[in-house]
Chains A and B, each alone.
Chain A
């Protein structure tokens, strides 16, 4: 192992990712015991951090890190540790931006939006994982900036990357770029610069591409677009569809869908606050 670390560091890392890290992540996703995930994930994150210290530019590892941090932050609410999210989102940003810089999307990622849009044209389908997870890691952090001016201007750049992902491979990860754009456009009324109807189209496409089995899409659709346009029927229908879904039908999405079901129940309970 020491030999491997000294002379074949990058190869060794990729072996770790292929044989240890990724299967661990997949196993986590199939877990039905949320508490076990809550307790186990921090060790996993520490391991990834350590690996990135010595292999700071390993693309696969950076993607795994962005996913793992994003996923753990998403689970913090269920884990009862939501106060940790803002601090942890810094890591998500760091790894996301590193991915984008490494892919050549931007150097400081403060590049003007038009220039970024032009630059994105040179990327192809094989770049989609770096583009999507880079933008995702960045967006996770931006969400925790609670509408700060810097975050709002950065969202314009994330939007451009997600639009390019849609152009290159709209089905990537169950249409997740559509999901992002649906929320980004659908969560604000036109009076506040939102584009609810465009958001709706992205949500519809995300539902199609995920075969309506990634329940997070339904929840996001209800929580952003349906609320923005005050469509109670849509809100109810989407959330009831989530509750009726059989988790066993998608064991590979068990954990994600389990969390979505909890959110759907909560959103239905607080329906009267919004409608």
Chain B
């Protein structure tokens, strides 16, 4: 028997340590928030740091109850629960909250960014517009989160447009920007929910998926899609939002405590996410994943297709104003 058995429970003990304690007297302002991020993830860790800081600085008056791992459903379910007061906020993905605040989709245009430096410049430049757009929908935009650059990942190498057109591509459900782009470049994708993707890769129903490098490890897609076309296909991101009415019910100095803590801890989360993506490249290579370069001709054709899609999406999937502002910020950065 011995310590061996006792050792078994380590699996639990460790999880306790990872979760930590967050609060707990009865707070005057209690926010129930949710995320699809699992317990123990970097999102959860930084969120708990945020909660601790807020609780400490407000002497326990502000508290958060956190439902992790998709316990409250996906983004759309979370938003519905916010509308009926069952939730007061959460971590949303761009595709999930895009139907509510369409302009938030603009940074998801394919092949928009060449570097994280460009992302940061545009993100900062658009912050005010995003804040305003969310506020109009009754949401307090507290922080920007990211999945990172998204790559095409496939079971055989894809370096040309014809190869991509012949592939059985996955399309994330509820993403009109990607759908329009695929249509422009002659790809007929197969829409699937995330839980179905790995199984569909295994059965051959699809052979090409799109994800961040770290995301492909988290979801284990790299075990089947072992070729990465090495150019950022797009950029995936999200937001930490609270119900604006609930948020406004707090005294102004409490609102400021929450804003300041969110800025600090979600910035740390962003940095950790980038670190994970950076490290993932080597881990993927160690695990036999090959990175292949697209041909310049095909890349040029993809950009033409993207521009064609943008022409049709402007004023529909997002406003012309937000698009123009995005391009202006990008040009400014590239000068």
A144 to B222, CA, bound (A): 23
B38 to A194, Cβ gap below 8 A? yes
Q: If the complex has contacts A82-B17, A191-B195, are A74 and B5 also in contact, measured as CB distance less than 8 A?
A: no
- Residue in A67, A71, A140, A148 whose CB lies within 8 Å of B279: A148
Q: Please name all residues of chain B whose beta carbon is closer than 8 Å to the beta carbon of A260 when the two chains form the complex.
A: 9, 12
* B251 contacts partner chain A, Cβ-Cβ < 8 Å: no
Interface presence of B22 (CB below 8 A): yes
Interface string of A197-219 (1 = CB under 8 A from B): 00000000000000000101001
Q: Mark B280-295, 1 if CB is under 8 A from A, else 0.
A: 1001101110000000
Count of chain B residues near A, Cβ 8 A: 59
Q: For residue B40, which residue of chain A has the nearest CB?
A: A147
**Residues of B48-103 contacting chain A, CB below 8 A:** 65-72, 74
Q: Is the CB of B279 within 8 A of A263?
A: no
Contacts of A82 in B (CB 8 A): 17
A156 touches B8 (CB 8 A): no
Give B99-130 interface residues, CB cut-off 8 Å to A: none
Instruction: Decide if B3 touches A152 in the complex (CB within 8 Å).
Output: no
CA distance in complex: A194, B181 (Å):
30
Q: Cβ of A156 and Cβ of B220 under 8 Å apart?
A: yes
Which of A148, A188, A228, A272 has the most chain B CB atoms inside 10 A of its CB?
A188
What residue in chain A is nearest B221 (Cβ atoms)?
A193
The answer to the question of B203 belonging to the interface, with a C-beta cut-off of 8 Å to chain A, is no
- Contact check, B38 vs A188: say whether CB atoms are below 8 A apart: yes
Q: Return chain B residues, CB-CB under 8 Å to A102.
A: none
B218 within 8 A of A: yes
Which chain B positions have C-beta within 8 A of A156?
Answer: 220, 223
A256 to B11, Cβ gap below 8 A? no
A146 touches B45 (CB 8 A): yes
Q: Provide the main secondary structure of the chain B interface.
A: helix
Contact check, B39 vs A26: say whether CB atoms are below 8 A apart.
no
Q: Quick check: B14 and A263 within 8 Å, CB to CB? A: no
**Complex Cα distance A5/B301, Å?**
74
Q: Determine whether A183 belongs to the interface, using a CB cutoff of 8 Å to chain B.
A: yes
Q: Which of A67, A216, A252 contacts B12 (CB 8 A)?
A: A216
User: A230 within 8 Å of B by Cβ?
Assistant: yes
**A174 CB–B CB distance under 8 Å:** yes
| Bound-state Cα–Cα, A215 to B3, Å | 15
Q: Which residue of A lies closest to B216 (CB)?
A: A149
Complex Cα distance, B222 from A166, in Å, reads 25
B36 touches A29 (CB 8 A): no
Contact A149 B69 (CB under 8 A): no
CB distance from B335 to the nearest CB of A (A): 35
Cα of A144 to Cα of B66 in the assembled complex, Å:
22
CB distance from A163 to the nearest CB of B (A): 15
CB pair B2–A147 under 8 Å, yes or no, is: no
Q: Are B12 and A143 in contact (CB under 8 A)?
A: no
Does B166 reach chain A (CB closer than 8 Å)?
no
Measured in the bound complex, the distance between the Cα atoms of B67 and A228 in whole Å is 9
Closest A residue by C-beta to B277: A149
A259 touches B6 (CB 8 A): yes
B13 and A263 form a contact (CB under 8 A): yes
Asked if residues B16 and A263 are in contact (CB atoms below 8 Å), the reply is yes
Binary interface profile of A, 35-76, with partner B (CB < 8 Å = 1, else 0)? 000000000000000000000000000000011101101111
Residues of A within 8 A of B (CB): 22, 25-26, 28-29, 66-68, 70-71, 73-77, 82, 85, 110, 112-113, 133, 136, 139-140, 143-144, 146-150, 152-153, 156, 173-174, 176, 179-180, 183, 187-194, 214, 216, 219-220, 223-224, 227-230, 252-253, 255-256, 259-260, 263, 266, 270, 272-274
Known: A76-B13, A189-B69, A256-B5; 15 extra A-B contacts, CB below 8 A, are A25-B2, A67-B3, A74-B14, A147-B40, A149-B276, A153-B283, A156-B223, A183-B12, A189-B38, A191-B74, A192-B38, A214-B5, A230-B71, A259-B13, A263-B16
In the complex, 9 of the A-B residue pairs with CB atoms within 8 angstroms, ordered by the A residue number, are: A143-B10, A148-B276, A150-B286, A191-B36, A191-B70, A192-B194, A193-B195, A227-B71, A230-B72
